[in-house]
Structure formats: C-alpha cells, structure tokens
Amino acid sequence: MISHIIAALIGNYMTTFFVIGLIVATVKVLARRGHRSPSFVSGTYLNSFVLWAVGIGQVVNFIMHSVFGDYAAKTIGWAQSPFQLELAISSLAFGVMAIILSKKNSTFRGKVALVIAQAIFGFGAAGGHIYQTIVNHDYAANNTGLLLVMDIAISAVGLALVIWHSGARRSQPSATDAVPERQTMAA
C-alpha cells in the first residue's frame, strides 16, 4: 500500500507540489504570532504557490520530460519527439523564474507576470489535452485524468491568489503605503 501511495505522489507530482505549497503556507500563517494582516496571509499563500506549484513543480516537469521523456510521453499518449525536450526546457525556464520570484521581497508585478504566464500555459495545455481526447481519442491517464484537471485548477488558483493579494495590498492602511513593499508585505 505504501508503494502505491508513493507511486501516486510521484506520478502526480504537479498536484503533490501544489498541495505541499498550500500546506507550507498554512503552517507559516498559523505559526505567525500576533496580528496576521490580510496582506501577510495572501502574500504567504502567493509566495508558497509560486515556489512549490510553479517553481518546484516545473523543475520536476523539466526532469520528467527530459530525463524520463519516453515514460512521460507514454503516460500522456504521445510519441516521443524533439518537442518533448522543448517542453522540458520551457518548464525549466518557468521553474527557475518562479524560484527567483518566490522570495517575499520580490516584486509583486513580477509574480503577477509569472502567474499569468503559467495560467496561459496551463489553460493552453488543458485545451490541448481536451483536443487530443476529442480528435484523436487519446484517453491516456495523463491526458484525460488528474493532470488535465490540475492544469485548470492550478492556473485558476494562481490567478485567484494574485487577485486576493492585490486586494489585500490595496486595503492596507495608508500609513504603510509610503514604505517600500519589501519592508511591509509578504509578497
């Protein structure tokens, strides 16, 4: 049974890292003593999302599509092709950018750009999976299963976190508005 659980966690690594990010953010928020401002809470979740769901998740995606490309292609219902390596390199670029931007003193604008780009990629990938299902009857596990759902869910949650944090930043008292972002906010 443990081997099945480990296989499921590894086989669904994007979901695993997304959930780890939510857990890490929740622990950080609950561990904070004193006042937890909406900006701190939303920024903590956004930073954790950027690091875990996008950063670590995409670096692992790079490894899966480059080192284990034949296996990854098979689980999606693809034939191995040179485009597999291009997807891997794109994933690495997203992952490295996310890891750099996951720090609380990184600019919010950079995080917004990253999350929007990731959402375009995620929704586009979901569209591609749906197209392959309809047109080519590709019902492979990673074309129609949890990966398809998570392409949509992770992208939607990322956008929701950006909107939440944007609203929380705007609602802070004006006395802190003059202080630079990195000194007052979690993101």
Whether the CB-CB separation of 66 and 88 falls below 8 Å is answered with yes
- C-alpha 54/C-alpha 95 separation (Å) is 6
Residue 11 pLDDT: 77
**Phi and psi at residue 128, in whole multiples of 5°?**
-65, -40
Residue 186 pLDDT: 52
Dihedral over alpha carbons 25, 161, 159, 113 (to 10 degrees): -80
Distance set, CA 170 to CA 38, 94, 108, 181 (Å): 10, 28, 12, 12
- C-alpha 103/C-alpha 164 separation (Å) is 18
Residue 107 pLDDT: 96
In tens digits, the chain (187 residues) has pLDDT values of: 787 777 777 778 999 999 999 999 999 999 999 999 999 999 999 999 999 999 999 999 999 999 998 988 888 888 888 889 999 999 999 999 999 999 989 999 999 999 999 999 999 999 999 999 999 999 988 888 888 999 999 999 999 999 999 999 999 865 443 334 444 445 5
Residue 180 pLDDT: 40
Query: Phi-psi category of 107—alpha, beta or left, where left has phi over 0 and alpha has psi -120 to 50?
Result: beta
Long-range contacts of the stretch 68-72 (C-beta < 8 A, 24+): 72/142
